[in-house]
Each structure stands twice: as structure tokens, then as C-alpha cells.
Structure 1
Amino acid sequence: MRASAAVITIAVLGVAGAAAGPPASAARPSPHPGAVERTGTLSRALDAALTKATADSPGQGVQAVLLRHGRLVWSADRGTAVNNIHPAVPVDDSTLFNYGSFGKLLLGVFALHQVEEGRLHLDTPISTYVGDTVAGSRRITLRMLLSQTTGYDNVYADPQVIPLFPPGTEGAPPGTGPNRYRPDRPFTFAQLNAGIHRPAEPGARYEYQDTNFIVLLQVLVKRLGGRAAVQQQIARFFSGAGSVAPENGKQITQDRYARTTLRHFAHGYHPLADGLGLQDYNTAYGATGVPTDAFGFPFGDGSFAGTALGAAQVLDALFTRGKLLERATVDEMTQPTKQARAAGSTYGLATERTVVDGVTWQGHPGTFGGFTSSSYTDIGHGATLVVLTNRDDPSPTVSDRIWTSLAKAYASNRQ
């Protein structure tokens, strides 16, 4: 579940400036006194659950929010956004995190909007849009890309692609050197396309692969008139999510060069073996800004960064307020495919579901470059819970562990 570089800010709302915060280990209240609609028992339960879930990782950066029917019910910021400077930079409401594979849901929603508008078709071979430039394009459809049923292999494990990234990245075996990794040099689709080969039995089975969404972004680029046009249209589309009450000033972005991104983007940290500390993915290989494989083009598998409120706002607009897609499209999107069910998965079209203490949630997880994200909506009750972190640990994923603790508190105390 990776994510990478790009160009153009998606101001889902606006962007608030960074502010000095309290000690990094403390939960930071909303910068707008009285702005968060506190719900007594539920808020206290969420505060306690977050404190317990983060107790063993002091300093780890966390943003978390709970929305209900377009209103911000609860939020918390904890830990540090950037550790290895003095003084450390605390997480606040404006801190931007890499969304990782939550970006698949965002890109998928935008693609489904293009289907609704008649610009794309779910069951037409993608050769209609990309010609024969992508292997297997005459047998692959948009539906297969969105449902992870193409039969493509992991592009990041291909011998031609492995040297482009740091050791241990995605399919790269541990110990392989970053032979050609240059974190300040933009990536191209052609570099990734060299590792995309003829798919095996398209449509036959579900297999989660980042390759599918890399190809999806290329389909959009070709169909909608180029990278800049796609980014501009994505920005306009997600601005339709509208703001949530009573907050304002949050964002989702694809632009790693924007002044706002550089000012507010957290660093992602990965624990080193044998307790030797943390590796800062942003600086470990000499990046002078946000690494070019962090998010954005051409990485359709993880094109976005943003705040927890930005992510929650989109899910709320999609699943609760019905502002982004038609209801029939959302219903199709959230229905697990027969291939996914056969594999024991709940994946539909760019989204999956999970159940915690009897509550069913719909959304998508993500992880890359020291960041993890867990973003889901309880559609039945109009509640959206998002957790973002800048610390990764695969077993279990950091944000999933925290999110599950919060989801349990929500299930026990929702009103």
C-alpha cells in the first residue's frame, strides 16, 4: 500500500496555519474554543481509549477525528510530527499525513464519478483510453482495476522497478540496495510501466495489488487530458464534499511542492531492528523536501496526503451526506465482489468493510513510508472515524490498532 509524488492542492476546505502546541505527549484541544461538539460520555471514552492505545509509543504522532452527519463530534492530536529537530514539532490540526492506500478509495471515487458522467465505462477494455501502452489493456476493464481482479502482479517486486526504491520497499527484498533511488527526482509512469506485465486470468480472482491503481491513474490521465487536468478536476470534485460544522480550514493534497505541504507535512518513522531507534523516511536517503515517492503522480495506489478531518470529511460526504456519488453507485461500490467473497475479503470497488463489536464500517486502510491510516464510516449511523499516524509497524498496523480501540469505545458509548 504505497503512495507517491504530484502536483496541485485539493483544498477540501482551506488550510490553517501551523501553531505552537503544548507538550508533544499531550492531547491538543481544538484551536477554536468550544468548536468541537462534545458528547460527554462518548468523548471521554474516546479520550481514554486513545490514551491507552498510544501509551506504549510515547511521542508517536497521531491525528484522530469522529464526525457524525457532517458535524465534528471529537478530535485529538498527539505526539510529534517531526522528531529529529529541536524543539520537536508537535502534531496539530493542520499537520498533513501521508494517506497511503486510503488514496485508492479517493481515486476510486473520482473514477466512479467519471463513470457517472459518461467519460469512462466500467466494463469497457481500458485499451479504449490507453491503447496498447499498458500490458493486457485489451482484456482489463475499469471494474477489474477498482475491484482488484485484474491478475496483475506486484509492480514493486519486478526486477526493473526494485532498484528505483529504498531497500525493503513493497516487493523489494530486505538487503537490496537503493541502486537508483533519488528522493528528489520525480518518478514517471514509464518507470513503473516497465514492471507491469501481461495479467493472469483477468477477472477470475481477487488479489490486492497496488499495480491496479497505478494503471487506473494512467487511464484517467489519458482520458481527461493529462496529469495537470486530472489534478485540477480532482481538486474541484473533492471541493464538492463541503465543509463540516463547526470546523473549517483542512485539506487533502496531491502537491508535495506546495508551500503549505512543506510547512505542515509530518515525517514518517519506521522502527529499526533490535530496538535501534527510528528511521526518518523523509530524510534517510537525502531528500531535501518531501520525497518524490511519498505521494502524488504517478502513484495512483497512494496519491494523497492530508489531515484526519480532510479524510473524514470526504467519507462523510460520500457515505452519509450523499454529496459525491449517486446512491446506486455507492451501493455498488460497497458490495463485496464475488471474487473477493471467494477469497474471504470484503473488497468492493476501491473500498472494504470491517466489523468491530457488532458495528459495520466501510472505508480503506493505508500505509507507506512510516505512515499509517485507518478511515471508515459507520454508514448505518452516519459516523466516520479516522486515525492517522506517522509511525509504522506491520504487526499490527499502528493506525489499525488505535482505530480498533476507538471503534470499540464508540460501539459501547454511541448515542
Structure 2
Amino acid sequence: MSDVTLSEFVDATATRFGIPGVAVGVLADGRDVFACHGVTSLDNPQPVDSDTLFHLGSVTKTYTATALMRLVEEGRVELDAPVRTYLPELALADEDAAARITVANLLNHTAGLDWNLLVDTGDGEDALAEFVARLPELDLIAAPGARASYSQAGYCLAGRIIEKVTGQPFEQALAELILAPLGLTNSFFAQHEITARRFAEGHNAEADGSLTVARLWRPSRANNAGGGLASSASDQLRWARFHLGDGGAALPTDALLAMRRPTVALRASTLGDAIGIGWFLRDIDGVRTIGHGGSGNGQFSELLIVPERDFAIIVMSNAGPEGIACNRAIVRWALEHYLGVLDRDPEPLPYDPSRATELIGAYAIDAMTLTIAGDEAGLNLAVGVKPEIRAASDQDVPPDYPAAAIGLLPGDEYIVTAGGLRGQLGYFSRDESGAVVGIDLGGRLFQRVGA
């Protein structure tokens, strides 16, 4: 397997999807291989290399979960303890839920919290504390432990636990618990540290297909624990080596293995078959993988590790909406060419209009609406920021995902077959009477609105 072949595939794939800059790192046969394409920005182009910083988005959650596991190993946190053990001030819309949610519920997305609370609590060291104080405004979508639904707010809470236990701002605590011990010297939260180095700017597609630079680097500081880290391909392979068992003094092997064990099963999810502690677990062609993806404003990342084969791949790209598809194509190619592992999408069933009728409608989370529409020819799915949210924002909000075809699978499951979300799996959920009341996409529950 030559390095040139990987580079050629990355170049061709990035060009096909129209991505300005892509950084890929592969750990195979005990060595690191990098393949980088294009430029950091269309406005201020610099060549992408293995040390270029990209916004990791939710891959950051693996760092937050690992930091908490260090605190568990030190006897300072218990996974099964109620969150109020460490945050007695926690209040939610439901008092019973606030009393029952555990630390483990936050880390495997079973706390019953909706996706997130769209508030900007500033850039001060009190950002997370102020965010937690606003949580009574957040919707609850299930009882604690009842089901998995991906929640950014849950990881914000996890970050606040780290602050309270260590007595430090989240970013400083994570640096001391994780970044410094592992020698991750090219990973940062602070924008002034990021922009002092070579960094990739995100890009979004305009209506005519042209790309423009996304000016918003990341959401507010309170979201750092769930998605604020910027890092390079070289640092991400160091991170993968650590989780493959090279824990050193930072975390013993048994704790690393515990993070890979299933805690809750997932249904029809592109994220995986189950969630461990901070990791999504997925069997691909008979091989168990652990991984996590992330997205920001025009930036997308995908980290996948195959523990039994001592293999890892990180892909980071800087344009939407095709960044997800680009990353996925590169990961699948690497799995096949390095490991002989094939990852294929399920084939949709023949379209049945009578089955589709009850699915049509609008579904929502805090800031976004998912719309299912259709006719005799087929169904489509669109995801967009709510107009009132977009109108009220003074920041650069990512564009919507326009309507794209979906195909139905057995049961109430589906797959997106076109557009920037193609390949994404999900399912429709029903109440006790059998009525469709929600749809899962990207691990998040969108609840049905209106008639």
C-alpha cells in the first residue's frame, strides 16, 4: 500500500466533491501516513499539511469523556453518581429528571435532554456556569435512561462537572488532564491560539454552488466541551494511538477498554450500533470500530479507530455540504484498501406511497426543522435552521440542507439517498397508539410538530 496511492485518492475525492482543503492521517502497520489536499481558505490560501488546524466539532466529546474518566480513575468522580453530586445547583424543567440524571447519562446521551440550548453566555470563565443556570429553559425529550438522543447540552454539563471538580476553567482542566500528558501540542480552544497558526477556514456553498468563507469559527465558549477543539491530523493520530492502548500515565488500559464497551444500543444510526463512553461503536464487515464525527460551520471531521487491527484514520475537510460525503468516501476507501473491510449502504425497499403517507410532516429540535415531503414518485427530507433563529442571529449561520431523496428500509427505518446528507440512516418513532411522533437523524430526536 503506497503513500502515493492514498494521496492520489484524497486529491481525486476532494476535487470531485469540491472541497478546498482536506487533511487525512492514517495509522496502519505501526506508522503514520498523511495525505493533504488543497488550501486552508479560498480568501487567504495556504497549503494544507498534517499540522494544519481544523475545527473538530463533536470529536471534542471524546476528549471531554476521557478527561472525566481520568477523574473517575482518581476517585474524584463516579459515573453512576447523580450529576447533582457535583452540581447541586442543577435545575431542569422537570425536577425528577434533574435529581436522577447521572454522569454516565451525559456521556452516552441518555439523559433525556434535547439537543441544545441556543444561548450565548459570553467568553468569560463563567460561560459554562451561566449556561447551566439557563438549563430550565431546555426541553426534555425522555426520562433519564429511557433512550439515547444526541445532546450537546449533556456534554456542556459534563464540562461543568470537570470545572467544579478541578476548580479550573474547562479548557485549562482539559489541557492539564489530557493535552499536556499526551503531548498534544497542536490542539487548542482559544481563537487567538488557533489563528496564530496555520488553520483551515470553513466554507459554505451558495445557491449557485460557489463557496464562500464561513466567518464564525465556533459557537459560544459554553459549547467547548461538546465541540470547541481545533486540532491537526498529526495530533489526532497521537490521540488514536493513546486510545489504542498507549495510555501511559494518563489513563490505564482497563479504563480505555471500558470506554469501548456498549452502554446503550442505537437503532438505524449512521453514528453506530451502540454508544460506549464518549465513543460510538459500530461493526463494519464483521470488525468492531470506535469513532466519532464532528461538524462546525463549513468544517467536518471523522475519526475512526479499529482496535483489533491497530488502525485509525482521521479525515478533516473545510467545506459544506459535501464535506460529510467526502470524509465518508475517504474513510471507506481506507478501510477497504488497508484492511480489506467493506462498508456498504443498505438498499432501500421499492417505494410504497401508501406506507409513506403517514410520515409526511414537520419535525423539530430547538433551532432546526426537518421536513418530510413526498408524492407518488418518492419521499424527500429537508433540514433547515428555523427562520426566526436565522433572522435573530447576528452571526454567520450555516446554510440549510435542501430537500433530498430518502428511501425506506424495513420497519420504520430510512436512508438518505441524495444530497449532502446521503448515506445517513435514521428511523421514525411512534407512540403507544402507533402514531408517528418523531424522527431520528444523526442520533438526534426531532419531535413532530403540528397536525
> What's the TM-score once normalised by structure 1's chain length?
0.71
Separation (CA, whole Å) in 2 of partners of 1:124 and 1:297: 23
Q: Does 1:226 align with 2:168?
A: yes
- Deviates further, 111-120 or 195-204: 195-204
Separation (CA, whole Å) in 2 of partners of 1:217 and 1:402: 32
**Structure-2 change in CA distance of 1:233 and 1:118 (3 Å):** same
Separation (CA, whole Å) in 2 of partners of 1:145 and 1:213: 6
Aligned to 1:400: 328
Structural RMSD (CA): 3.0
**Structure-2 change in CA distance of 1:208 and 1:224 (3 Å):** same
**Structure-2 change in CA distance of 1:297 and 1:68 (3 Å):** farther
Aligned to 2:337: 409
Listed one character per residue, the Cα deviations across residues 268-324 of structure 1 (whole Å, up to 9, x for unaligned) are: 11212342x2232226xxxxxxx4627x54432113111011112112112232334
**Structure-2 change in CA distance of 1:355 and 1:231 (3 Å):** same
User: Which has more radius of gyration?
Assistant: 2
- Deviates further, 376-385 or 397-406: 397-406
Listed one character per residue, the Cα deviations across residues 136-194 of structure 1 (whole Å, up to 9, x for unaligned) are: 432111110111100001224xxxx27x5xxxxxxxxxxxxxxxx99x99992325734
Q: Any conservation in 2 of the 1:392–1:398 contact (CA below 8 Å)?
A: no
Separation (CA, whole Å) in 1 of partners of 2:283 and 2:195: 34
Matched residues, percent identical? 24
Where does structure 1 lack aligned partners over 5 or more consecutive residues? 1-40, 165-180, 244-249, 284-290
Aligned to 2:78: 121
Aligned to 1:207: 149
Query: How far off its partner does 1:112 sit?
Result: 0.8
Paired residue secondary structure (1:360): strand
Aligned to 2:127: 188
> What's the TM-score once normalised by structure 2's chain length?
0.66
Listed one character per residue, the Cα deviations across residues 357-390 of structure 1 (whole Å, up to 9, x for unaligned) are: 5543212111111111111211112122111111
**Structure-2 change in CA distance of 1:279 and 1:79 (3 Å):** same
Aligned to 1:75: 34
Aligned to 1:150: 111
Q: Any conservation in 2 of the 1:96–1:261 contact (CA below 8 Å)?
A: no
Q: 1:253 aligns with which of 184, 188, 202?
A: 188
Between the two proteins, the alignment pairs up a number of residues equal to 331
Listed one character per residue, the Cα deviations across residues 216-267 of structure 1 (whole Å, up to 9, x for unaligned) are: 1011112211316x51453453332258xxxxxx511122222x54332211
Q: Which one has more relative contact order, counting CA pairs under 8 Å at least 6 apart?
A: 1
Paired residue secondary structure (1:263): coil
- Deviates further, 343-352 or 113-122: 343-352
Aligned to 2:312: 384
Q: Which amino acid aligns with 1:363?
A: G
Q: Which amino acid aligns with 1:115?
A: V
Separation (CA, whole Å) in 2 of partners of 1:383 and 1:150: 32
- Deviates further, 398-407 or 110-119: 398-407
Q: Any conservation in 1 of the 2:103–2:158 contact (CA below 8 Å)?
A: yes
**Structure-2 change in CA distance of 1:342 and 1:48 (3 Å):** closer
1:326-405 equivalences under 5 Å are 326-340=252-266, 345-393=273-321, 396-405=324-333
Paired residue secondary structure (2:328): helix
Separation (CA, whole Å) in 2 of partners of 1:75 and 1:405: 15
Q: Any conservation in 2 of the 1:98–1:304 contact (CA below 8 Å)?
A: yes
Q: Any conservation in 2 of the 1:185–1:292 contact (CA below 8 Å)?
A: no
Q: 2:178 aligns with which of 232, 237, 241?
A: 237
